Structure 1
Amino acid sequence: MDFLMLLKAIILGLVEGITEFAPVSSTGHMIIVDDMWLQSKEFLTKPIANTFKVVIQLGSILAVVIVFRNRFIDMLGLNRLFKGTEQHTQGLKLSQVIVGLIPAGVLGVLFEDYIDERLFSISTVLIGLVIGAVFMIIADVFGPKKAKIDSVDQITYRQALTIGLIQCFSLWPGFSRSGSTISGGVLLGLSHRAAADFTFIMAVPIMAGASFLSLVKNLEYFTMDAMPFFIAGFISAFIFALISIRFFLKLINKIKLVPFAIYRIVLAAVIYIVYF
């Protein structure tokens, strides 16, 4: 494993970490770097490259767990174990997160093969980028001028389910999980920060579950040659996701979604020019 390959792993981890949870579509960004970076060495066959993508996604997921660790401790009833206090009974509940996960989780399982075989192409990602951007602009323009819910603790089961239904749009590559759910939350009267908090918390179990299943299927590709590449990418994705999430959460109520929507449209134009 040469230094150049480790540098490429770090750069790919950076791309994943910065874009996975921002509403800009990590899939769209990975398309740009895929051919240039992931197919440049003989040992990086397609299965190994796909396994690497799962590994760096796990780095991003770990960053969310760290940022929201207190909420996960509360929801899982582990307060006494980690904090030495009784369980916090108010606020967001694990059952609300599960309700939000059900729609996309069920559809994802039912249509996983179809999505992988038919929808993962540059043209479909371009469509997802643009339509997702339009949806985000609609949320900012037509959503309530003053948010009715300023904290994720105020979310109801009905709102959790509705956001979960809207999350189904993100099954279309390029639409963006965070873009769809934050936009949906804003349209339902949540502040941008509350919608983002719920989006990130809800992303952990569904992404971790999907990543774990993918890793189990691809354990044979964790060879000694590939491990340094995987480890470098994982650490890079974790660090940059940690920075990106904290930065994003501080700014989202101020800048809202339109700047990200404009960026997505520009990204779609760049991909179109490069590939078509």
Structure 2
Amino acid sequence: MDFLTLLKAIILGLVEGLTEFAPVSSTGHMIIVDDMWLKSEEFLTKYVANTFKIVIQLGSILAVVIVFKDRFVQLLGLDRKKIAVVRGSAGRLKLAHVIVGLIPAGVLGLLFDDYIDEHLFSTSTVLIGLVIGALLMIAADRFAPKKPLVESVDQITYRHALAVGLIQCLSLWPGFSRSGSTISGGVLLGMSHRAAADFTFIMAVPIMAGASGISLLKNLEYFTLDALPFFIVGFISAFVFALISIKFFLKLINRIKLVPFAIYRLVLAAIVYLVYF
């Protein structure tokens, strides 16, 4: 495999890592970058290219696990000594909250997975998702309570978890963004931006790992020795850039909120529309 091909793996990993957990839609960026520029299917088969996208998503998931490792230890009850010291909490966020939040999108994703893959993965549908998602984010910042009712992820109730889970269903539309929809929904429910972001990232791990794991099992035949360097480089790239992106985003989200990301999405949609159409 030549250097140019590996460079493309690094670029796709970078795009995945930087955008997976920011409210800008990683799927949308991947489709736009790949369709308009890299065209991975021209140097890989369609199925190998799709498998690669699953692999780099796993790199992003690993980055979340590293950032929130103490929280996951607490949720799974693996080390009781750490439960009371996770971000100064008493460990009130429970695994049941996460499960309740996952159910709506998990059920819809299983029912409509094939339809979404066949009919919604295109630049035109991504543009729709980018614009509507941006409007939701602007509305969230505009109509959110001036003083958040939920400052910490440990104050989230089952009602909050279910409501955020229902709003997460919007992210099944490519370009809408999982974090964009769930953070916006959480903010509208009275959560601080940081609490909504923390819950979003924690929820993302099981739903993304489950979906990626199932897809990976279906595509194991494409893990050939020829393609393996491409997969490894992409995985490492996505992991490193996701790690940087998550830490940076969590430090800034309470301060900058969602509108700057919404503006970015609208500008990106306008540029892609002018160039692509």
What is the 5 A alignment of 1:47-196? 47-79=47-79, 85=81, 88=84, 90-196=91-197
Cα distance in structure 2, aligned partners of 1:117 and 1:4: 29
Specify the code of the residue in structure 1 equivalent to 2:149.
K
The aligned counterpart of 1:256 is 257
Gaps of 5+ in 2: 85-89
The C-alpha deviation readout for 1:188-218, integer Å capped at 9, x for no partner, is 1100000000000000000000000111000
Q: Alpha-carbon deviation of 1:122?
A: 1.7
Change in Cα spacing, 1:174 to 1:97, as seen in structure 2 (3 Å) is: same
| C-alpha contact 2:140 2:185 (8 A) present in aligned 1 | yes
Two-structure CA RMSD over aligned residues (Å): 1.3
State the percentage of identical aligned residues.
79
Change in Cα spacing, 1:270 to 1:158, as seen in structure 2 (3 Å) is: same
Report the TM-score when normalising by structure 2.
0.95
Cα distance in structure 1, aligned partners of 2:16 and 2:100: 27
The C-alpha deviation readout for 1:83-130, integer Å capped at 9, x for no partner, is xx3755632100000000000000111111121122222221111100
1:112 counterpart SS class: helix
| C-alpha contact 1:51 1:218 (8 A) present in aligned 2 | yes
Change in Cα spacing, 1:181 to 1:233, as seen in structure 2 (3 Å) is: same
What is the 5 A alignment of 1:1-80? 1-35=1-35, 36-39=37-40, 42=43, 44-79=44-79
The C-alpha deviation readout for 1:144-191, integer Å capped at 9, x for no partner, is 111111100000000000000010111111110000000000001100
Specify the code of the residue in structure 1 equivalent to 2:11.
I
Cα distance in structure 2, aligned partners of 1:146 and 1:108: 34
Cα distance in structure 1, aligned partners of 2:200 and 2:178: 8
| C-alpha contact 2:27 2:174 (8 A) present in aligned 1 | yes
Gaps of 5+ in 1: none
Q: Alpha-carbon deviation of 1:138?
A: 0.1
| C-alpha contact 2:138 2:262 (8 A) present in aligned 1 | yes
| C-alpha contact 1:38 1:49 (8 A) present in aligned 2 | no
Query: Runs in 1 of length 4+ with deviation above 4 angstroms?
Result: 86-89
| C-alpha contact 1:10 1:232 (8 A) present in aligned 2 | yes
Specify the code of the residue in structure 1 equivalent to 2:121.
F
2:30 counterpart SS class: helix
> How many residues are paired up?
271
